[in-house]
Amino acid sequence: MSDETTIDSGEYRRVLGHLPTGVTVVTCATDDGPVGVAIGSFVSISLDPPLVGFFLGSHSSSGEAIEAAGHYCVNVLTNDQVELCGTMASKNPDKFDGVDWKPAAGTGAPMLPGSLAVINCTLESTVEAGDHNLLVGRVVDLSTPEDGGGEPMVFFTGQYGTFAP
């Protein structure tokens, strides 16, 4: 068996798009203001110690900002936050214009109102993985809204939707 396999990138994305993923916005606080990026690759890594992570393109300016800040906050989006998701997925330099947010205790990373859950982390490590980096964070605080928060946003085959129990 060959060590190298040629996989068409379009087919790769199409097939792997059949795995539904939750949608988050990862944020951090910098001296130049808040930074945010939409992420569909958030994952729980370890219970002891409490570690989470997400993958981001290795040339992402958001990733550079998060690494420099040394912290991040994961905001788990609800199905009615599609517009916010689009803003945070854009290249808009002022993604937080008109977004009401609160600083997370300890890190100051933006916590977005209406999120289903908020996970505040200090950056533990960055691991190179092909054309992406895995940013591993140690959870320092986490919460969910008392009212239950609504339905989760799910990304599946290139579209946003929700979970139907």
Q: Domain 20-157, what fold?
A: Pnp Oxidase; Chain A (2.30.110)
User: Using CA of residue 86, residue 40, residue 6, residue 132, what is the dihedral sign?
Assistant: positive
pLDDT of residue 124: 97
Q: How many CA atoms lie within 13 A of 8 on its CB side?
A: 4
pLDDT of residue 108: 95
Specify the pLDDT at position 71.
Answer: 97
Q: What is the pLDDT of residue 163?
A: 74
Average pLDDT for the chain: 92
pLDDT, one tens digit per residue, over 43-68 is: 999 999 999 999 999 999 999 999 99
pLDDT digits (tens, 9 = 90+) for 102-146: 999 989 999 999 999 999 999 999 999 999 999 999 999 999 987
Q: How much of the chain is helix, strand and coil, in % rounded to 5?
A: 15, 45, 40
DSSP state of 38: E
pTM of this structure: 0.91
For residue 110, the tally of other CB atoms under 10 A from its CB is: 27
pLDDT tens for 7-53 read 999 998 889 888 888 999 999 999 999 999 999 999 999 999 999 99
Where in the chain are the domains? 20-157
